Amino acid sequence: MMGAPLLCLGLLGGILTSCAGSPSAPPSSGPIVGSPPPPPGGAGGGDGEKQTDVASAPGITSTTVTVGQVDDLTAPVAGLFKGAEDGTRAYFDYVNSLGGVNGRKILLDARDSAYQGGVVASATSGIIQSDFAMVGGFSLLDSAELPLIDAAHVPDVAYPLSSDLANSPYLYSPSPNSSQDLPIGFMKYLKQKYPKAIKHVGILWANATPSTQFAEQAFERGLRKEGFKIVYDRGFGAAETTYLSDVLAMKAKGVQLFYSQQMIDLYAANLAKEMAQQNFKPIVIQGAAYSTNLISDAGPAANGMYIEQSYPLFLPGGDAKRIPAVALFDHWMTVADPNANFEIEAVYGWIAAQLFTQALKNAGSTPTRASLLAALDKVTSFNGGGMIPPTDPATNVPYQCWLLAQVKSGNIVRVPPTPKTGYVCSPGGLLPAAGFKPEVRPAAAS
């Protein structure tokens, strides 16, 4: 299970020389036709000046398609989910370099939530009026989008944090409900490998919004179902950066396995250093800490830490040599922004942009929102060219796969039972979350 992370910080990445020059065709998206357009505009609130000769829908002109997204950018922490914008923009830059879709360049109108529900609603309303669709947004307050997109029948292609938004007939996630539906295959693996340690589990989780609380409830329900005994359990706030009292309490309670799905790299690094200072050495498994910042911030204290996730090792130097989609992602991230945030939200933005592009290509030469919805309804198998395990966006069915990595000598590497490429998959290994059901989309494309 890959829980919804609370916060994510950026890092620098270099351009991979193996991806330089003429790009190959976009994975899982088919051929893209048209003549190379002018270079896209810079980062920020939209790419260049929007044209006003609307053809078939808001945001559509004869040469461009403008889509919008709402991200937590300036609060509660500066640059919080900038990765979502970077990843979305990177994929569109890649597609535009090949001529766009049906002769149209795709432009991104990225807006800041300011971590306020009212601002999310206002920004969403503005996007609905001026842009073709919503693509790749990432906000802890994304539930504020729900009544607006439902009323306007606007396609929203993104990774949702709100379970209500996840079940909207107009929300299409390239990675459906993976923070609410819990792949329990990894828990079964831990149960077999560490039968004694799972009886002494400590957890710290992000007590930030109803969405993170909901994800944690599903996570702990899965642990208990598999026989894990949680002896220490606390939700931490967004402003907490030290966990010494938790370390002392877990040590006193005899915690042998620490497991968190909602602790980002900076926080995980601080926790690792505090555990080392207290000579506290449980088995540590993190689900949201994958980044080079983890290594630079934690230093030797991170060695031995396990990282469980459901996406490849996408950092430069990770899986790029083995998985072409990762090499493509790494290269175009730095094209979109030399200081791009290489984090999981960037992957979500990238694959959301890819799913949208695939559907847009099949939505007709004069696409409408209804034709885009109809095209999205036909995408029953999607893996982002290898960036995620196979999912079914049309019916909102998540993957059932996971990958295990470990910090070794300052590097994050795949470890058994994970294969050299791909994932460990467990058909039937899902524990459905309360309130979730496979999607039925009544009149979604009408």
- Give 129-158 pLDDT, tens digit per residue: 999 999 999 998 999 999 999 999 999 999
Distance (Å, whole) CA 49 – CA 46: 8
- The burial class, CB within 10 Å (0-12 / 13-18 / 19+), for 53 is exposed
User: What six digits make up the tokens of 59?
Assistant: 């945001």
For 356, the token pair is 């949208």
Mean pLDDT, the chain, integer: 83
**Span 223-248, average pLDDT:** 93
- What's the sign of the alpha-carbon dihedral 39, 40, 42, 43? negative
Rounded average pLDDT over 69-88:
91
The pLDDT of residue 342: 87
Strand-pair partners of 105: 64
pLDDT of residue 54: 41
- With H, G, I as helix, E, B as strand and everything else as coil, classify residue 358: helix
Q: How much is the pLDDT for 173?
A: 95
Q: Residue 177: its pLDDT value, please?
A: 66
Q: Residue 36: is the preceding peptide bond cis (ω within 30°)?
A: no
> Which token pair is 194?
């560490």
Confidence band (pLDDT; 50, 70, 90) for 181?
Answer: very low
Which of 138, 100, 110, 136 shows the shortest CA–CA distance to 43?
A: 110
- pTM (whole model) above 0.85: no
Please give the biggest Cα pair distance in the chain.
Answer: 67
| pLDDT computed for residue 264 by the predictor | 82
pLDDT > 70? residue 76: yes
Could you tell me the two tokens for 416?
Answer: 């058994």
Q: Which helix (H) or strand (E) holds 151?
A: helix 146-152
Structural domains for the chain: 17-175+319-376 (3.40.50.2300), 182-309+400-431 (3.40.50.2300)
For residue 156, give the 3-state DSSP assignment: strand
pLDDT confidence of 40, banded at 50, 70, 90? very low
Q: What is the pLDDT of residues 287-335, one digit of tens each?
A: 888 987 899 999 999 999 999 988 999 998 899 999 999 999 999 999 9
Residue 266: what pLDDT?
Answer: 86
**335 by DSSP, 3-state: which?**
helix
For residue 97, which phi and psi values (nearest 5 degrees)? -65, -20
Q: Is 72 left (phi over 0), alpha (psi -120 to 50) or beta?
A: beta
The rounded distance, in Å, linking the Cα atoms of 319 and 323 is 6
Q: CA 260, CA 250: separation in Å to the nearest integer?
A: 14
The candidate with the shortest Cα–Cα distance to 331, out of 93, 131, 116, 112, is 93
Tokens 């919080």, residue located: 80
Residue 80, φ and ψ in degrees, nearest 5: -50, -65
Q: Which of 305, 309, 319 lies closest to 406, judged by CA?
A: 305
User: Bigger pLDDT: 17 or 166?
Assistant: 166
Q: Where are the alpha helices (DSSP H) in 299-364?
A: 324-336, 344-361
Instruction: With a cut of 50, say whether residue 432 has pLDDT above it.
Output: no
User: What is the structure's pLDDT at 427?
Assistant: 59
DSSP designation for 51: P
> For residue 6, what is the DSSP state?
S
Residue 54 has a CB neighbour count (10 Å cut-off) of 14
Q: Which amino acid is at 34?
A: G
| Residue 247: C-alpha distances to residues 160, 232, 236, 304, 341 (Å) | 32, 10, 13, 17, 30
| DSSP code for 382 | B
DSSP state of 263: -
